[in-house]
């Protein structure tokens, strides 16, 4: 995801749900979690084979088989490297630099202090090595590019029109199309499928799951299909919806079979994506309750020692509030359309901290309005804080140049538009 931020990735998922609701489309969102992905990626796909391996097909094939790899997977990796080269070669990394990086990973080993035995590491990024993240990213990117390519060939990738002017330009003309498929943040990936009816979407889901399992198996990455890990959100609309849903029901909740993996995918109505709950029905109540709980958990232990300490200045206390409480409480709140009741949940925690700083908690029976407390302490309201964060985010969103997000969020017609809902106002995304 451009700009390396969780709010952009989370905004993509929320906007996809709003996009489907706006156009009355069926939508499926798959959140993928891999098992020990960092330690299991095949380095050879990133940098080629170690220096001590002879440059022959037989030697390379034997080396891959010695890594507990199936013959089919070893054959595929060798065929891929022969046809396309490793990631470094595709990125035109200088040969000498590539050789230095390969040397750092050839016959690497570790030993526990006080023992005489040692172990070799032949897969994954080296723990503690600054190049470890790069090795993982290269291998992960190759797998994702292959997934996108195969889904594009299958014809299940949605294309949306977009303009290249500004989110703030309601009359901007459409200038092109872009693919709307997935969003990644490090190793967290969300894949989105749209369809005009339920039957078409179910066929697309079968293709997606088959491609996903096949590609990750070839790259020696294992999808964690346990509940709470890799899960899906499904919203069906139109004819045949009830019949399809009845076929998903199981003892432990609705599931979709994953035939290639001989297991099933758990369907949920709420998923915690990058620390924030996303609900398939578009509600924010679980999110605000979770954020309020996080804020109280940060505020409670230090409410008296920090915020009630008369030896500390109010500006210092407000700084602690912003860094320790509000940063958790309002995490990614600026990418959501919060209703008045949902804003109230967040405001209650926010004002509790403000009142403690201003020494106006009301334990003595004196009732002072929130507005008077804020004016006396020189603190802005929670609504104002959200609006400030949205304006800052808007500037980042313009610089990010994320065409899929822009295409979905700039959708407009005569009936409605996707927008932020502030107190008494609407702010277009």
Residue 223: how many CA atoms within 13 Å on its side-chain side? 27
Mean pLDDT of 276-300: 93
Q: Is 197 helix (H, G, I), strand (E, B) or coil?
A: coil
Tell the residue number behind the tokens 């291998």, with chain if given. Answer: 139
Closest by Cα among 292, 295, 206 to 244: 206
CA neighbours within 13 Å on the CB side: how many for 150? 17
Task: Specify the residue for token string 């979407």.
Answer: 201
Comparing 16-25, 95-104, 379-388, which segment has the lowest mean pLDDT? 95-104
Q: Where are the alpha helices (DSSP H) in 66-168?
A: 71-84, 87-90, 95-105, 132-154
Mean pLDDT in residue range 284-310: 93
With cut-offs at 50, 70 and 90, classify the pLDDT of residue 303: very high
Please report the pLDDT score of residue 138 as a whole number. 86
The pLDDT, as a whole number, for residue 306 is 93
* Distance (Å, whole) CA 291 – CA 329: 5
Q: What is the mean pLDDT of residues 352-378?
A: 84
Tokens 């999110």 appear where?
287
pLDDT at 35: 84
187: number of Cβ within 10 Å = 14
Compute the average pLDDT of residues 397-420. 64
Residue 316 pLDDT level (bands cut at 50, 70, 90):
very high
Residue-averaged pLDDT of the chain? 84
C-beta atoms surrounding 295 within 10 Å? 25
Mean pLDDT in residue range 377-394: 91
Rounded mean pLDDT, 66-82: 88
pLDDT of residue 420: 37
- Tell me the pLDDT tens digit for each residue of 34-44: 888 777 788 88
- Give CATH 3.30.70.100 domain extents, the chain: 2-38+136-273
The class of domain 2-38+136-273 in CATH terms is alpha beta
């Amino acid at each position: 995801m451009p700009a390396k931020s969780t709010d952009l990735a989370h905004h993509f998922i929320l906007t996809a749900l709003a996009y489907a609701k706006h156009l009355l489309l069926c939508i499926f969102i798959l959140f993928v979690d891999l098992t020990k992905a960092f330690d299991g990626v095949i380095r050879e796909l990133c940098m080629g084979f170690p220096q001590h391996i002879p440059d022959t097909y037989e030697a390379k094939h034997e080396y891959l088989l010695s890594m507990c790899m199936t013959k089919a997977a070893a054959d595929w990796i060798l065929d891929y490297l022969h046809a396309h080269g490793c990631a470094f070669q595709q990125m035109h990394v200088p040969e000498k630099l590539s050789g230095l990086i390969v040397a750092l990973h050839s016959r690497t080993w570790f030993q526990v202090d006080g023992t005489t035995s040692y172990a070799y590491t032949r897969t994954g990024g080296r723990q503690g090595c600054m190049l470890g993240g790069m090795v993982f990213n290269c291998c992960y990117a190759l797998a994702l590019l292959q997934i996108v390519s195969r889904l594009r060939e299958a014809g299940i990738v949605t294309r949306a029109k977009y303009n290249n002017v500004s989110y703030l330009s309601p009359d901007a003309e459409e200038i092109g199309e872009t693919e709307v498929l997935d969003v990644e943040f490090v190793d967290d990936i969300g894949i989105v499928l749209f369809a005009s009816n339920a039957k078409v979407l179910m066929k697309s889901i079968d293709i997606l799951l088959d491609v996903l399992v096949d590609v990750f198996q070839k790259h020696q990455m294992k999808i964690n299909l346990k509940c709470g890990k890799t899960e899906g959100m499904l919203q069906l609309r139109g004819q045949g919806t009830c019949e399809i849903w009845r076929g998903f029901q199981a003892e432990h909740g609705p599931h979709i079979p994953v035939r290639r993996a001989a297991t099933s995918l758990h369907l949920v109505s709420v998923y915690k994506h990058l620390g924030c709950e996303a609900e398939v029905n578009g509600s924010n109540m679980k999110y605000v309750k979770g954020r309020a709980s996080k804020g109280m958990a940060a505020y409670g232990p230090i409410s008296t020692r920090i915020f009630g300490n008369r030896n500390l200045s109010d500006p210092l206390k407000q700084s602690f509030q912003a860094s320790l409480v509000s940063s958790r409480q309002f995490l990614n709140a600026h990418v959501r359309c919060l209703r008045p009741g949902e804003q109230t949940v967040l405001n209650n925690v926010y004002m509790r901290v403000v009142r403690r700083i201003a020494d106006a908690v009301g334990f003595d029976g004196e009732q002072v309005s929130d507005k008077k407390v804020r004016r006396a302490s020189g603190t802005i309201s929670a609504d104002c804080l959200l609006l400030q964060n949205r304006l800052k985010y808007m500037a980042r969103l313009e610089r990010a140049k994320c065409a899929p997000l822009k295409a979905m969020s700039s959708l407009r017609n005569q009936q409605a538009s996707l927008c932020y809902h502030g107190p008494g106002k609407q702010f277009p995304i």
